[in-house]
Chain A
Amino acid sequence: MASAAKDANGQNDARIAVLGAGIAGLTAANDLHRRGLPVQVYEAGKAIAGMAQSVKDERGFTYDFGAHLITNRLAAALGVSANCHTVTHYDETVFLGGKTYSFPFGLLRSPKFVLSAVKSRLALGSSNAADSAADWYRANYGHKMADEVAIPLVEAWSGVPAEDLSSSVIPPHVDRGISNILKLKVSGWASGRAVANGFSREKAESSHIWHMYPKGGVVELCQKLATGLEDNIAVETRIEAIMVENERVVGVRANGHDQDVAAVVSTAPLHILPKLVQGTTSLDHLARFRYRPMVLGSLRFKGRPLLPAVTTWVPEREYPFFRLTEVPQSVPWLAPEGMTIINVDIGCETNSDYYKMDDEAIGELCVEHLEQMFPGARHRYDGCRVVRTPIGYPVYLREYEAQRHALESGFPIEGLYSVGRNGEFAHVLMEDIYWRTLERMKELRAWYTSAR
Chain B
Amino acid sequence: MLAKNQVNDILSSRVESGGTLYLHCPICESDVGETEGLAGPMDGSPDGVVIMRCGECTSIYLSPARDVLGGSPPSLPVSVLRMNRIRTWTRGLPSTARVLCVDCASERHLRAFARAAGTDWAIEGTESNSRISHSSDSYDLIVLSHTLESVREPVELLRHLKLLLASGGRVVVIVSNVGSTGFRVFGGRHWSGYEYPATRQHFNADALHRLGKNAGLSVRNVTTMFASQSWLRSVKNWFRDWGVVEGWVSVVAGRWLVPQVIAAAIEGLAQLRGRGSLLVAELEKE
Interface of A toward B, CB cutoff 8 Å: 30, 34-35, 72-73, 75-79, 81-82, 84-86, 190-192, 203, 206-209, 212, 224-225, 227, 438
Contacts and interface: CB of A to CB of B under 8 A. Distances in A.
A81 B19 contact: no
A208 B48 CA distance: 11
Contacts of A206: 37, 188
Given A225-B20, A438-B21, A81 B47 contact: yes
27 contacts: A30-B20, A34-B19, A35-B23, A72-B46, A72-B48, A73-B35, A73-B50, A76-B50, A76-B64, A77-B50, A77-B63, A77-B64, A78-B20, A81-B40, A82-B47, A84-B46, A86-B46, A190-B242, A191-B241, A192-B243, A203-B35, A206-B37, A206-B188, A207-B188, A208-B38, A225-B20, A227-B19
Contacts of B175: none
Nearest to B190: A208
A191 B238 CA distance: 9
A193 to B, nearest CB: 9
A76 B64 CA distance: 7
Contacts of A85: 46
Given A77-B63, A438-B21, 11 more contacts: A76-B64, A77-B35, A79-B18, A81-B40, A81-B46, A81-B49, A86-B44, A191-B242, A206-B37, A225-B20, A227-B19
A169 B38 CA distance: 29
Interface in B231-284: 241-243
B47 to A, nearest CB: 5
B46 A224 contact: no
Contacts of A82: 45-47
Contacts of A35: 23
Interface of B: 18-21, 23, 35, 37-38, 40, 44-50, 63-64, 188-189, 241-243
A191 B49 contact: no
A192 B242 CA distance: 7
Contacts of A224: 20
A81 B21 contact: no
B242 A208 contact: no
A77 B20 contact: yes
A73 B40 CA distance: 11
A212 B47 CA distance: 11
Contacts of A75: 46, 48
Nearest to A86: B46
Nearest to B45: A82
* 7 closest residue pairs by CB, A with B: A208-B189, A191-B242, A79-B64, A76-B48, A82-B47, A81-B48, A208-B188
Contacts of A73: 35, 38, 50
A321 B28 CA distance: 53
B217 to A, nearest CB: 31
Contacts of B49: 76, 79, 81
A343 to B, nearest CB: 24
Contacts of B243: 191-192
Contacts of B48: 72, 75-76, 81
A72 B20 contact: no
A34 B23 contact: yes
A75 B152 CA distance: 23
A208 B47 CA distance: 13
Given A34-B23, A35-B23, A82-B47, A76 B38 contact: yes
A39 to B, nearest CB: 15
Contacts of B63: 77
Nearest to B238: A191
Contacts of A190: 242
Contacts of B242: 190-192
Contacts of B38: 72-73, 76, 208-209
A383 B50 CA distance: 42
B219 to A, nearest CB: 32
**Most A Cβ at <10 Å: residue of B37, B47, B189:** B47
A81 B20 CA distance: 11
Nearest to B188: A208
A190 B239 CA distance: 10
A78 B38 CA distance: 13
A64 B242 CA distance: 30
B43 to A, nearest CB: 12
B70 to A, nearest CB: 12
A191 B241 CA distance: 7
B37 A208 contact: yes
A82 B18 CA distance: 13
A78 to B, nearest CB: 5
A354 B19 CA distance: 44
Contact of B19 (A79, A84, A208): A79
**Most A Cβ at <10 Å: residue of B38, B46, B64, B242:** B46
